Amino acid sequence: MTASRLFALTCACLAGPAMAADKPLWELGAGLSALQLPDYRGSGHSQLYAVPFPYVVYRGDFLKADRNGLRGVFIDSERIDLNLSVGASLPVDSTRNEARWGMPDLKPSVEIGPSLDFTLWRDSRHQTRLDLRLPLRYGYTVSQSPSNIGWVFSPRLNLDITDPFGLTGWNLGLLAGPMIDSRRNDQYFYSVDPAYATARRPAYTARGGHAGTQLLVSVSKRYPKFWLGGFVRRDNLAGANFADSPLVSSRHYFAAGLGVAWVLGESTRRVERDE
């Protein structure tokens, strides 16, 4: 799927870990994020988005809404979590993207699928945690007649650190891993139908497979009445199966964002959670 995943970037990348503690069952608020995103991985055109978002945290036993997005927790143990993973992508206006000029617009999409997560190591104070995350998401366009646009598998190592470098209250997240996608997903973003081929944009059929690697760094801090976070992400598309598509203008992908959310209310009921 395209890397402009609005829900994932605003709710997951702009956040970090927390220690086990007594916390409200739910928190509600509102926030605003500024995101600098290419139209898709490999695109030479990027845009700055100012995106309002709801700040929703729910720490239930079987349903959670937190830094990892909206999740249904089906297995929850000391070492293994099986979650429902949800994401989204933004639409692309082809008239504003030189490589896609004259081609159909890319519709916004949603992604949904399971994520099997393994805790590989955690320190005794629960301040540092290393996870192996295995999300497999299936994408669908958001339109009057939704269509399946294939799957993306993105295994990654995730390191969460609380109070990094002695900065009390701050959270640091480091994530890295390869991406693998289906032929249908590749074709949606990178194929060029013969009807849209030009002298500078030859026909191309994407085939699926290795889709490059990703590296993401995020920081965040929760204050009594608001939350602050930011992220940077860099992908290397060298060796990706779609790297020779005429729609790919760069072998590198860079995205960044900042967000602030104001906490407007929280429950009086408290629960102990290790996030």
Instruction: Characterise 161 by phi-psi region: left (phi > 0), alpha (psi -120 to 50), beta (else).
Output: beta
- CB neighbour list of residue 239: distance below 8 Å, 6 or more residues apart: 210, 212
Nearest CA to 56 out of 41, 68, 45 is that of: 68
Q: What pLDDT is attached to residue 17?
A: 43
Instruction: Collapse the DSSP code of 180 into the 3-class scheme (helix H, G, I; strand E, B; otherwise coil) and give the result.
Output: strand
Structure tokens at 10: 């605003």
What's the length of the chain?
275
Question: Identity (one letter) of the amino acid at 172?
Answer: L
Structure tokens at 52: 């309002």
Q: pLDDT of 87-105, one tens digit each?
A: 888 899 999 999 999 999 9
Nearest CA to 233 out of 31, 21, 12, 71 is that of: 12
Q: Which residue has the tokens 């099986």?
A: 82
Alpha-carbon torsion 166, 32, 131, 222, what sign?
positive
CATH of the domain at 174: 2.40.230
Q: What pLDDT is attached to residue 87?
A: 81
Greatest alpha-carbon span in the chain: 65
Question: Identity (one letter) of the amino acid at 115?
Answer: S
The answer to whether residue 241 sits within a structural domain is yes
The answer to whether residue 1 sits within a structural domain is no
Q: What pLDDT is attached to residue 273?
A: 60
The answer to whether residue 162 sits within a structural domain is yes
The answer to whether residue 240 sits within a structural domain is yes
Contact 177, 137 (CB under 8 A): no
Report, in angstroms and rounded to the nearest whole number, the Rg of the chain calculated over CA atoms: 19
The answer to whether residue 213 sits within a structural domain is yes
Structure tokens at 268: 């009086």
Nearest CA to 88 out of 48, 134, 37 is that of: 37
Q: What pLDDT is attached to residue 82?
A: 83
Q: What pLDDT is attached to residue 22?
A: 78
Question: Identity (one letter) of the amino acid at 154?
Answer: S
Instruction: Collapse the DSSP code of 166 into the 3-class scheme (helix H, G, I; strand E, B; otherwise coil) and give the result.
Output: helix
Contact 233, 183 (CB under 8 A): no
Instruction: Collapse the DSSP code of 9 into the 3-class scheme (helix H, G, I; strand E, B; otherwise coil) and give the result.
Output: helix
Range of the domain at 137: 6-273
> Can you list the residues of the chain whose pLDDT is less than 70?
1-21, 61-77, 273-275
The answer to whether residue 184 sits within a structural domain is yes
The answer to whether residue 243 sits within a structural domain is yes
DSSP output for 77-132: -SSEEEEEEEEEE--B-GGG-GGGTTSPPBPPEEEEEEEEEEEEEE-TTSSEEEEE
The answer to whether residue 172 sits within a structural domain is yes
The rounded distance, in Å, linking the Cα atoms of 184 and 217 is 29
CA dihedral 227, 232, 253, 116 (to 10 degrees): -70
**How many Cβ atoms are within 10 Å of 123's Cβ, its own excluded?**
11
Write phi, then psi, for 96 (nearest 5 degrees): -105, 5
Q: How many domains does the chain have?
A: 1
